[in-house]
């Protein structure tokens, strides 16, 4: 079997198009322009690239982008004061603090100081609790992107066996909650899981979020299963830097029914979902109906 490739790049472009359409309508009908504030502390090169891409795509869908670049030595008090200002600013509908923060800043304290209604990354403890109890919340962007692609590919996910490999707060756990919300039978695997390959072979949906290049190989995959590869790893191969996932693409694609590639799979969906969340936050803040198909 050769797996169908789930094209995250094309899907993300479609999502951005839907967001742009809603944004244009918000402007025309209500005079509203959603605003996303991104806060970057320090000069981490990867974070600078992400923040640049987020700002560019925010403007491309017709939203306002507010970038706050702070010195690496910024004090916690100054960062909290900025977040307080953004929380109170009616032009700002979404706030994202780029992680990781420099070591002297308490990430949990900083994230939990964001107004939960503007927490477009979905990391605030209130949103984590709402998602965990099946209530309306802001949903973390990467797992939301995975869910959208799965729904698009399968229609209903009800009754499917899903295995999520990885239990981080930003990917593994919210991914598992979302799959449970769509009535999958969910297993969360991690570094202490016994017989991991066997556990994975029980999955109709296998989500790889381990942060280990190409760890999930074809022998972990049930024939015909859908493999969602969240991993982004830079490796050196044949003297070149290459981007690979947490799944070994060739061996998994030979067994799976469908698979997301790296690059061009989950990655592009993350920013598209950030824009979708900013739109959702704007609609909720103004008592307007939420866009269909862009939330969990």
Catalog residues that contact ligand NDP under the rule CB under 6 A. 142, 165-168, 170-172, 189-193, 196, 209-212, 230-233, 246, 266-267, 270
Q: Is 78 a catalytic residue?
A: no
User: From CA 11, how far away is CA 68, in angstroms rounded?
Assistant: 29
Structure tokens at 130: 């709402």
User: From CA 216, how far away is CA 230, in angstroms rounded?
Assistant: 11
Give me the catalytic one of 18, 57, 98, 177: 98
Closest residue to ligand NDP: CB criterion: 168
Q: Is 54 a catalytic residue?
A: yes
Structure tokens at 184: 């999958």
Q: Is 71 a catalytic residue?
A: no
Name beta bridge partners: 241: 236
In the bound complex, what is the minimum distance in angstroms from residue 163's beta carbon to ligand NDP?
11
Mapping DSSP to helix (H, G, I), strand (E, B) and coil, where does residue 117 land?
A: helix
| H or E, element range at 43 | none
User: From CA 114, how far away is CA 124, in angstroms rounded?
Assistant: 7
Give me the catalytic one of 54, 118, 173, 222: 54
Residue number with CB closer to ligand NDP (54 or 115): 54
In the bound complex, what is the minimum distance in angstroms from residue 209's beta carbon to ligand NDP?
4
Residue number with CB closer to ligand NDP (97 or 230): 230
In the bound complex, what is the minimum distance in angstroms from residue 260's beta carbon to ligand NDP?
9
Give me the catalytic one of 115, 118, 119, 121: 121
User: From CA 199, how far away is CA 30, in angstroms rounded?
Assistant: 51
Residue number with CB closer to ligand NDP (87 or 233): 233
Q: Which of 154, 153, 179 is nearest to 166 (CA)?
A: 179
Q: Which of 263, 248, 169 is nearest to 206 (CA)?
A: 248
Residue number with CB closer to ligand NDP (85 or 212): 212
In the bound complex, what is the minimum distance in angstroms from residue 145's beta carbon to ligand NDP?
7
Instruction: List, by residue number, the catalytic residues.
Output: 54, 98, 121
């Amino acid at each position: 079997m050769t797996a169908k490739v789930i094209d995250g790049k094309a899907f993300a472009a479609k999502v951005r198009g839907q967001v742009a359409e809603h944004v244009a309508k918000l402007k025309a009908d209500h005079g509203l322009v959603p605003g996303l504030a991104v806060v970057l502390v320090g000069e981490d090169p990867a974070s600078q690239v992400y923040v640049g891409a987020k700002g560019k795509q925010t403007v491309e869908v017709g939203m306002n982008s507010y970038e706050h670049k702070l010195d690496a030595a910024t004090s916690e008090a100054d960062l909290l004061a900025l977040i307080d200002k953004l929380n109170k600013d009616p032009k700002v509908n979404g706030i994202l603090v780029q992680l990781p923060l420099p070591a002297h800043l308490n990430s949990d304290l900083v994230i939990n100081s964001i107004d939960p209604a503007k927490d477009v990354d979905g990391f605030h403890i209130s949103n984590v609790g709402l998602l965990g109890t099946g209530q309306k919340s802001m949903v973390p962007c990467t797992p939301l992107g995975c869910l959208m692609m799965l729904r698009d590919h399968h229609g209903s996910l009800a009754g499917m066996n899903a295995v999520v490999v990885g239990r981080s707060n930003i990917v593994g756990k919210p991914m598992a909650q979302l799959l449970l919300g769509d009535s999958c039978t969910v297993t969360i695997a991690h570094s202490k899981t016994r017989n991991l390959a066997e556990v994975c072979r029980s999955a109709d949906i296998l989500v790889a979020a381990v942060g280990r290049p190409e760890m999930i190989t074809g022998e972990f995959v049930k024939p015909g299963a859908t493999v969602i590869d969240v991993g982004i790893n830079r490796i050196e191969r044949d003297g070149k830097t290459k981007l690979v996932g947490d799944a070994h693409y060739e061996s998994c694609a030979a067994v799976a029914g469908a698979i997301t590639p790296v690059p061009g799979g989950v990655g592009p969906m993350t920013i598209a979902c950030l824009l979708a969340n900013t739109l959702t936050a704007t609609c909720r803040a103004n008592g307007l109906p939420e866009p269909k198909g862009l939330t969990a």
